[in-house]
C-alpha cells in the first residue's frame, strides 16, 4: 500500500504512540506455503465444543456455582452439543465439585463427552483425574504456553524445558488413564498463533506418538489464537500449515480456539475451518477472557444462513439467551448477531420499504428460498416474531408506517394515501424525538382521518361542492381522497358505513385547509 497521502484524503498523523507496536510479521514466523483455504467451502458443521463452563467461567467476576453451571450444562446438551468443556477441576473446590456433581448425578447424556482442563503440573493433573473418577467418557485437556514471550517472561523455560514438561505431563496422564478406553486426550499449545510453527508441530507430533493416537482413539490438537495478533487470513495460513503436516492425520482432531481481541474471532474460526480445522471451541454469545471467546451461536447461524445444517438447535434463541444471561450475569448486546434485541429491526425508511416489499413478494412465492431484503435469516426460524421487524421513528418512511398499521391494526392504507400519513407521523416523531408505537400510530390515524363531527359543526360541507378523487374500501375500512375548491385531502372511515364516513371526513379536512 502506498504511504503517500492522496489529495482526496486529508487525514493527518495520529498523536498516538503507534510506533510502540510491531506488525505480526516481526513477532512470529508465518509459513509462506501455497494455500488452498481461499478456494475451499464449508459444507458441514465442525464439532462445536462450548467452553463456557471453563474459559467463559474463568472470565466472570462471579464464577458460576453448581446450580448455575448445571443449568448451563443442561442448556448445552439440550441444544445438541456433544462435547462440552465442563471445568478446570484443579482450580477451585467449586469447579471440582461441579465435575463430581456431573459424575454422581447422572447428568451426562450417553452421547455427550465432558472435557476437563489441566495445566502441566503433576499435582493438578492428579486432582483432575480424581474429579473424573467414575466417568465413562472424558477428554483430559492439557495446556501450556509455547510462544517465545511466554516461555521467557512467564514460564522461564526454554524450548527444551517446555518439551520436557509436556512429555512428563503427558506420560502421567497416560498412566492415570490406564487402559480405560473412554478417556481421550487433548493438547493446547497456548499462544499457538505466536509460536514458531516447527516447535508446535514437534510438540503435537510428539504427543500423537506418546498417546498412541489411532482413528478409534484420536487425540485432539487444539491450536488457539489465545490473543489475536493479525488478520484472520494469517491464522488460516497457520492452521493450514499444521493441517498439511501433522503426523497420523487421521488420528488427530484438528481443533481451533479463537479469541476476539481484534473483533475477528468469528472470521478466524471460519477461515480456520476452510483451512482444515474440524473442531471449534468457543462460548455462547462470545463470553470469555477480555473481548471473549469466539461466539458459537454466530458461527452456527452463519452456517445455517448458507443452507448448511448447523447440527445444533437455536430455534428458540431467546430462551437460550435468557439462560446464558442468567448464568453469566452478563447481558447480550442489543446488536449482537442473530440474538440481540434490535438485530431484526429496521427503523429507517428505505430498509422498511424493502422489507415490506420482500414480505409481500414472499407471500406470493412462499416456496422460494429466503430472500427478504435486510433479513439474513427468517427471524421466525429462531423463534422471533415479526412484531419487531419494523419500528417507526423520525427516520422512517411511508412503507414502515403502512406496514405497522396493516400488521397491528388490519388497516391497509392505499398506496397513494401513504405519503400523506407518513408526513403526519414524521411531524409527530420529529416533535417527540421518540419512537411511535403501533398503538400511537393508530391513535394518530384516528385523530387525523376520522374527523367528521367537529368539522361538520364548524363548517358544514355541501356534498355538491366536492369531488371524490379516489375511494378504496377493503371490508374493514374505507379511504377517500376528495377535492374541495381545488384543495385535496384524505379521510377514512371504519365500520359499517365506512365509505360515507371516509368521504365526509376527507371533505371536511379539505374544506378546513
Ligand X SMILES: CC(C)C(=O)C(=O)O
Ligand Y SMILES: CC(=O)SCCNC(=O)CCNC(=O)[C@H](O)C(C)(C)COP(=O)(O)OP(=O)(O)OC[C@H]1O[C@@H](n2cnc3c(N)ncnc32)[C@H](O)[C@@H]1OP(=O)(O)O
Q: Give the footprint of ligand Y on this chain (CB under 6 A).
A: 55, 58, 88, 90-92, 119-121, 143-144, 154-155, 190, 226, 289
Q: Considering Cα of 91, then 92, then 98, then 100, what sign does the dihedral take? A: positive
Among 146, 147, 188, 422, the residue binding ligand X under the rule CB under 6 A is: 188
Residue 305 touches which of ligand X, ligand Y, none (Cβ within 5-8 Å per kind): none
Ranges of beta strands (E only) in 205-342 are 219-225, 252-258, 279-282
| Closer Cβ to ligand X, 224 or 493, answer by number | 224
70 contact choice in ligand X, ligand Y, none (CB below 5 to 8 Å, kind-dependent): none
Query: Cα–Cα distances in Å, from 435 out to 146, 263, 300, 372, 428?
Result: 53, 31, 33, 24, 10
* Burial zone of 475 (CB within 10 Å; 0-12 exposed, 13-18 middle, 19+ buried): exposed
Q: Which does 255 bind (CB under 5 to 8 A by kind): ligand Y, ligand X, none?
A: none
CA 167 from chain centre, in angstroms, equals 38
Site string for ligand X, 132-151 (x = CB under 6 A): -----------x--------
CA–CA separation, 239 and 236 (whole Å):
5
Q: Reduced to 3 states, what is the DSSP secondary structure of residue 453?
A: helix
Assigned C-alpha cell, 23 = 506488525
Beta-sheet strands, E only, within 196-338: 219-225, 252-258, 279-282
Neighbours of 434 (CB within 10 A): 11
Segment interacting with ligand X, rule: CB under 6 A, options 219-227, 344-352, 394-402, 487-495? 219-227
Q: How far is the CB of 240 from ligand Y (least distance, A)?
A: 23
Q: How many residues does the chain have?
A: 513
| Residue 126 CB, nearest approach to ligand Y (Å) | 13
User: Least distance in Å: CB of 363 to ligand X?
Assistant: 47
Instruction: Find the shortest distance in angstroms from Cβ 247 to ligand Y.
Output: 23
Taking the complex as a whole, the smallest distance from the CB of residue 230 to ligand X amounts, in Å, to: 15
Is 52 a residue that touches ligand X (CB under 6 A)? Answer: no
- If the CB atoms of residues 284 and 461 are measured against ligand X, the closer one turns out to be 284
What would the x/- binding string for ligand X be over residues 222 to 241, using CB under 6 A? x-x-x---------------
**Binding-site size, ligand X (CB under 6 A):** 9
Starting from the edge strand earliest in sequence, which strands make up the sheet with 252-258, in order?
47-50, 279-282, 252-258, 219-225, 183-190, 138-145, 113-119, 83-87
CA gyration radius, the chain = 31
- If contact means CB under 5 to 8 A according to the sort of partner, which of ligand X, ligand Y, none does residue 155 touch? ligand Y
Residues interacting with ligand X, by CB under 6 A? 55, 143, 188, 190, 222, 224, 226, 257, 259
Amino acid at each position: 500500500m502506498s504511504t503517500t497521502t492522496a489529495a482526496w484524503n486529508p487525514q493527518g498523523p495520529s498523536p498516538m504512540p503507534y510506533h510502540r507496536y510491531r506488525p505480526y510479521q516481526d513477532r512470529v514466523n508465518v509459513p509462506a506455503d501455497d494455500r488452498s483455504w481461499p478456494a475451499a467451502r464449508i459444507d458441514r458443521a465442525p464439532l462445536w465444543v462450548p467452553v463456557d463452563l471453563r474459559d467463559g467461567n474463568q472470565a466472570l467476576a462471579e464464577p458460576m456455582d453448581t446450580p448455575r453451571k448445571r443449568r448451563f450444562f443442561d442448556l448445552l446438551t439440550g441444544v445438541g452439543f456433544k462435547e462440552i468443556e465442563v471445568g478446570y477441576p484443579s482450580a477451585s473446590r467449586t469447579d471440582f465439585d461441579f465435575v463430581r456433581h456431573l459424575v454422581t448425578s447422572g447428568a451426562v447424556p450417553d452421547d455427550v463427552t465432558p472435557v476437563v482442563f489441566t495445566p502441566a503440573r503433576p499435582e493438578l493433573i492428579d486432582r483432575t483425574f480424581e474429579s473424573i473418577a467414575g466417568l465413562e467418557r472424558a477428554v483430559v485437556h492439557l495446556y501450556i504456553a509455547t510462544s517465545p514471550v511466554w516461555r521467557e517472561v512467564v514460564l522461564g523455560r526454554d524450548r527444551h524445558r517446555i518439551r520436557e514438561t509436556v512429555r512428563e505431563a503427558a506420560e502421567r496422564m497416560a498412566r492415570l488413564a490406564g487402559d480405560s478406553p473412554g478417556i481421550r486426550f487433548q493438547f493446547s499449545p497456548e499462544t499457538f498463533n505466536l509460536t514458531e510453527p516447527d516447535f508446535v508441530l514437534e510438540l503435537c507430533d510428539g504427543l500423537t506418538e506418546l498417546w498412541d493416537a489411532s482413528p478409534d482413539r484420536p487425540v485432539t490438537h487444539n491450536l488457539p489464537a489465545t490473543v489475536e495478533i493479525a488478520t484472520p487470513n494469517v491464522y488460516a495460513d497457520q492452521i493450514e500449515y499444521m493441517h498439511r503436516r501433522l503426523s497420523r492425520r487421521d488420528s488427530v482432531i484438528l481443533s481451533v480456539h479463537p479469541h476476539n481481541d481484534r473483533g475477528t474471532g468469528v472470521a478466524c474460526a471460519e477461515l480456520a475451518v476452510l483451512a482444515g480445522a474440524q473442531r471449534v471451541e468457543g462460548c455462547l454469545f462470545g463470553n470469555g477472557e477480555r473481548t471473549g471467546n469466539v461466539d458459537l451461536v454466530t458461527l452456527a447461524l452463519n452456517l445455517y444462513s448458507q443452507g448448511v445444517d448447523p447440527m445444533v438447535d437455536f430455534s428458540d434463541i431467546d430462551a437460550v439467551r435468557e439462560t446464558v444471561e442468567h448464568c453469566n450475569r452478563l447481558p447480550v448486546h442489543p446488536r449482537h448477531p442473530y440474538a440481540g434485541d434490535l438485530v431484526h429491526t429496521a427503523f429507517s425508511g428505505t430498509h422498511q420499504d424493502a422489507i415490506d416489499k420482500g414480505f409481500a413478494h414472499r407471500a406470493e412465492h412462499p416456496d422460494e428460498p429466503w430472500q427478504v431484503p435486510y433479513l439474513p435469516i427468517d427471524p421466525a426460524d429462531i423463534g422471533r416474531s415479526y412484531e419487531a421487524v419494523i419500528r417507526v421513528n423520525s427516520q422512517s418512511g411511508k412503507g414502515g408506517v403502512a406496514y405497522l398499521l396493516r400488521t397491528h391494526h388490519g388497516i391497509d392504507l392505499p398506496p397513494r394515501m401513504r405519503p400523506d400519513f407518513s408526513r403526519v407521523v414524521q411531524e409527530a416523531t420529529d416533535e417527540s424525538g421518540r419512537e411511535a408505537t403501533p398503538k400511537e400510530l393508530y391513535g394518530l390515524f384516528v385523530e387525523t382521518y376520522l374527523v367528521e363531527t367537529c368539522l361538520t359543526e364548524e363548517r358544514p360541507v355541501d356534498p355538491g361542492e366536492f369531488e371524490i378523487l379516489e375511494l378504496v374500501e377493503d371490508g374493514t375500512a374505507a379511504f377517500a381522497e376528495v377535492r374541495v375548491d381545488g384543495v385535496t385531502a384524505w379521510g377514512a372511515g371504519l365500520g359499517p358505513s365506512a365509505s360515507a364516513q371516509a368521504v365526509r371526513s376527507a371533505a371536511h379536512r379539505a374544506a378546513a385547509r
